[in-house]
Structure 1
């Protein structure tokens, strides 16, 4: 078992990464149902929370069936981060996570996200302010460093642990790398193997298959892995990894019936959380990935992204199931694309 404050997780937990415009409650529920052990909200601006932004406040929503789930915040001002932590505390998630990893220019220019990697004393102050301001377990997600000359994650990990965090997730790239090249997990392993480090260390970056998950588990000895882009449109990645870790056997690809069922569940949750028009609109980006690899699917997909009535959308999904009866779904290679310019994974 892995302990995160008062939270008990299974051995080698699988975490769903906080992804802007993706990791909303409907998507998180779908991933939880398919094997994700720990979930995070989209990242939330501390300035927005303190300023009572409706958009930021809405991101605090967590469904009961998601838990354990945490709220991730970002910012570069100690006072604002402490206030934001207090606001989060009142909503009673299971933990609070601090984003020191987002490489996007608009966030970095605010002295937040991975911008804080240029000033680790500020990182320490921000973390301490949050730990003191909340009764929740505080965790951090960050990167190896700002650039190749400042890969200071070993020092940072000790400092953050001393500041009181309960777990650390490390993305195996620097800020300057953005999402280019392969993630380097060797430094993540050094952090994990540091005898001073007593908190769980989770690895993140480029996990796109059960085989790679097992390989990295064995090679780097981390306590668990965080999965981001590989889960978009394919929440089954979690159950496939768990099954492979336990048995060494590869699960068959989800059937078309499973895909349609999950797509409907995702739609229902989206309607429940966002409301009619917004819930329908937010689902349009997901149809492509749910129905990927079906030959001649474009005509149906064009209908799905233009219809505005939930019953009509579900009717088209039923039509797809009938039209492709007997079609054997195969696993398509997962492409780790930069899904969004504000992607904070």
Structure 2
């Protein structure tokens, strides 16, 4: 069992990464059903929360079935971060997470996300402000450092633990790497093996198959794994990894019928949460991944992303189910880069 304050997670837990414009309640719902053990919201601007920005406030929404669930905030001002932590706490999630990892320019230029990696003293002060502002467990997600010349994750882990955080997730890349190259899990392992570190350490980066999940868990000894881009359009990654952990066997991929059914569930939840217009529009980013690996699917995808309403999309999806009945596509994760979400802070 892995403990984050009063929160109990199973051994080797699987965490769903916070991804901007992706990790909303509809997406989290299908991932929870597939076996995700702990989920996080999209990241929320502390300044937006304080200004009562509608989009920021909407990101605070979650449902009881999602628990345990964390709300993630970002910002570069101590007072704003403390106040936003209090606002988050009022919605009663299970924990508050601080984003020190998002590498996209629009966030970094505001001195937030991975931009804080250039000023460790500021990172400590921001963390202290959040920890002191709430009784909820506070966790952090970050990267190895700003660039190869300034990797400081071991010092970061020690100092943030001293400030009272109760878990740390490390993406095994620097900000300069963005999403290129391989994540360096050796440095994540160094943090985990540091005798001073008492809090859970979760690893993130490049987990895109059950075999790799098991290999990284065993090789680097982390307390759990965070999965992000590999779950987009493929929430089954969670159940496949858990099945592989339990049996050593590769679970059969979902049939096209199951893909269509879950995609429809995702669509229904999106429309219910966001409304009939925005729910349809924002769901369009997911279709390609739900259907990836199916031959000659391009025309269907084009119809899906231009369909104007729920019944039109539903009819197209059911048509796909009939057209490809019995077909089992190869698992799409191999070679998947997540390029469609890189600029939306899937960090």
Q: Same fold (TM over 0.5)?
A: yes
Map 1:182-201; keep pairs closer than 5 Å: 182-201=182-201
- Give the CA deviation at 1:319: 1.6
SS in structure 1 at match of 2:42:
coil
Change (3 A) 1:128 1:254: same
Partners of 1:15 and 1:224 within 8 A in 2:
yes
Work out whether 1:343 is the aligned partner of 2:345.
Answer: yes
Partners of 2:140 and 2:165 within 8 A in 1:
yes
CA-to-partner distance for each residue in 1:83-105, whole Å, 9 max, x for gaps? 00000010111100000011111
Work out whether 1:74 is the aligned partner of 2:74.
Answer: yes
SS in structure 2 at match of 1:42:
strand
How far apart, in 1, do the equivalents of 2:278 and 2:120 lie? 40
Work out whether 1:111 is the aligned partner of 2:111.
Answer: yes
Which residue number corresponds to residue 44 of structure 1?
44
Work out whether 1:166 is the aligned partner of 2:152.
Answer: no
How far apart, in 2, do the equivalents of 1:304 and 1:109 lie? 36
- What TM-score does the superposition give when structure 1 sets the normalisation length? 0.97
The number of residues matched between the two structures is: 345
- What TM-score does the superposition give when structure 2 sets the normalisation length? 0.97
- Give the CA deviation at 1:195: 1.1
CA-to-partner distance for each residue in 1:43-87, whole Å, 9 max, x for gaps? 110011011111100011012221111110000100000000000
How far apart, in 1, do the equivalents of 2:136 and 2:188 lie? 25
Partners of 1:40 and 1:72 within 8 A in 2:
yes
Which residue number corresponds to residue 27 of structure 1?
27
- Give the CA deviation at 1:298: 2.4
Partners of 1:208 and 1:336 within 8 A in 2:
no
How far apart, in 2, do the equivalents of 1:18 and 1:285 lie? 16
How far apart, in 2, do the equivalents of 1:192 and 1:169 lie? 11
Map 1:125-274; keep pairs closer than 5 Å: 125-274=125-274
Structure 1 segments, 4+ long, off by >4 Å, are: none
- Give the CA deviation at 1:334: 4.7
Q: Unaligned regions of 5+ residues in structure 2, if any? A: none
How far apart, in 2, do the equivalents of 1:124 and 1:246 lie? 39
SS in structure 2 at match of 1:73:
strand
SS in structure 2 at match of 1:273:
helix
Which residue number corresponds to residue 300 of structure 1?
300
Q: Unaligned regions of 5+ residues in structure 1, if any? A: none
